[in-house]
Structure 1
Amino acid sequence: MAPAPHERPFVDTVYSTADLPDTPQRDYRIPASGWLQAPSELLSLGDDLGEPVEYKRRIGRYLLWRAGPPVGEARYLAVSDDGATCLRFDLHGRRGEGSGPDGARHTRFRTWKEALHADGGGL
């Protein structure tokens, strides 16, 4: 049985963009510091929360990262696989806000992720 997501250990492995997995990992977490091409915005994403930044999954051409819990005060950052675009979604409990690649302001995490998917296809 896999450990609960927040109990999974961070790995020391260093990943390039091409090596990051498509889906969440069941046994470990990947820290932002473990991504060779991590932009500075990503590395500091959780600073104001006192939370580490962890890789979640690919959504189309975007790499999704999160600092904080899945529900509560959290920051998400979607980084395009070429590193040219960073899109942030701030979650405050069950409410949030962020701009999508479509230029729209999203208040629901689900619609923000749908906009990421629509922009890049794929997963």
Structure 2
Amino acid sequence: MSDTDAGRPLPADERPIDPTPVHTADLPATPLRDRNIPAEAWVEAPAALLRAGDDIGRPPITYKRRLGPWLLWRAGPARGADARYVVVHADDLDRHLTFRLFPDGSGDGVGPSGRRHARFRAWKEDLRDHDGD
């Protein structure tokens, strides 16, 4: 019996990759608990997203969830190694922001308000509070 069979979500790094092509409108609003959608499967994926991990060892880039109009993706693991979060505005795929997460847990990223953030939570709150318009 797997964790999902028991009703518990699989840890993100244990979820299978689902390469089924997906369009922007079909990316789910809530976090996936049973699989990972790779950036390469997103039909409309902008080049900036596909290159998000180039300078950090080219880790897989997977979809996480929607935050208002923003589509949240992560290149790399959630903790313990270099990673980069990327958000792409669902209504304007040329609009994107990044948050770099370092192995020591520190981070750096500018939110849609134009403020620089050292904490991922503060960056996500900026996304929640500003639709980027």
Is TM-score (shorter-chain normalized) higher than 0.5?
A: yes
Alpha-carbon distance in 2 for matches of 1:109, 1:5: 17
Return 5+ residue gaps in structure 2 as ranges: 5-9
Q: Which has the higher contact order (CA 8 A, sep 6+)?
A: 1
In the alignment, what sits opposite 1:7?
14
User: Which residue type is aligned with residue 114 of structure 2?
Assistant: G
Alpha-carbon distance in 2 for matches of 1:19, 1:39: 16
- Pairwise CA distance, 1:36: 1.1
- Pairwise CA distance, 1:25: 1.2
Q: How many residues are matched?
A: 120
Q: Deviations over 1:67-102 (max 9, x none)?
A: 111113110001000213100000113110001000
In the alignment, what sits opposite 2:101?
91
Calculate percent identity across the aligned residue pairs: 51
Alpha-carbon distance in 1 for matches of 2:84, 2:62: 11
In the alignment, what sits opposite 2:90?
81
Runs of 4+ in 1 over 3 A off after TM superposition: none
In the alignment, what sits opposite 1:17?
24
Alpha-carbon distance in 1 for matches of 2:108, 2:12: 24
Counterpart secondary structure, 1:85 = strand
Q: Deviations over 1:44-88 (max 9, x none)?
A: 111222301000000011000001111131100010002131000
Paired residues of 2:46 and 2:94 also in contact (CA < 8 A): no
Alpha-carbon distance in 1 for matches of 2:123, 2:69: 14
In the alignment, what sits opposite 1:48?
55
Larger radius of gyration: 2
Counterpart secondary structure, 1:41 = helix
Return 5+ residue gaps in structure 1 as ranges: none
Name the TM-score, length of structure 2 as normaliser: 0.86
- Alignment RMSD (CA, Å): 1.1
Counterpart secondary structure, 2:113 = coil
